[in-house]
Amino acid sequence: MRKLKPKTRKAIAEREDELVEMAQNIARKLWDSLEDSQKRDGKVRQLRNILEVAESTDSWKALELFIRYQAARKEIPKAWAESAIQELDTLQKDAQKIAQNTRDSAKAVQLELVTRVLGHAVRWHLWDVKKREG
């Protein structure tokens, strides 16, 4: 867990509903981008791998590269990877605003926001996979 000031954590928590909605959008795009043969397991493990890297890194660029790496290995669809990177990158502006008000690291705030979105996306995506099983 990143060391963030309580004021920063509170500001992030106040945006939780927005983060959940962003995650739902990212998860829906992943499901829609999968081929029928991939929908059985839904690539849930790959999404969890991305989340694990997000939790363990202090670098957005490293996470962005890992997502592209997974796409290059054909573990996740390339179009989804690019779309997810673009959407997650928009969190940088929110992070800068939060950090400016709380005097915390914008980089750390961005990665915390990204990690929260990816965590919610894993849960949404697993829901999408399981609800289609019947």
For the chain, how many structural domains are there in total? 1
- Give a yes or no: residue 5 inside a domain: no
- Give a yes or no: residue 24 inside a domain: no
- Give a yes or no: residue 123 inside a domain: yes
Distance from C-alpha of 92 to C-alpha of 78, rounded to nearest angstrom: 22
Cα pseudo-dihedral 45, 50, 51, 53, rounded to 10:
130
And the tokens for 118?
């990816």
Domain, as residue range, for 67: 42-133
Q: Is the pTM of this model over 0.85?
A: yes
The phi and psi torsions of 43 (rounded to 5 degrees) equal 60, 30
- Give a yes or no: residue 30 inside a domain: no
pLDDT tens digits along 86-134: 999 999 999 999 999 999 999 999 999 999 999 999 999 999 888 877 6
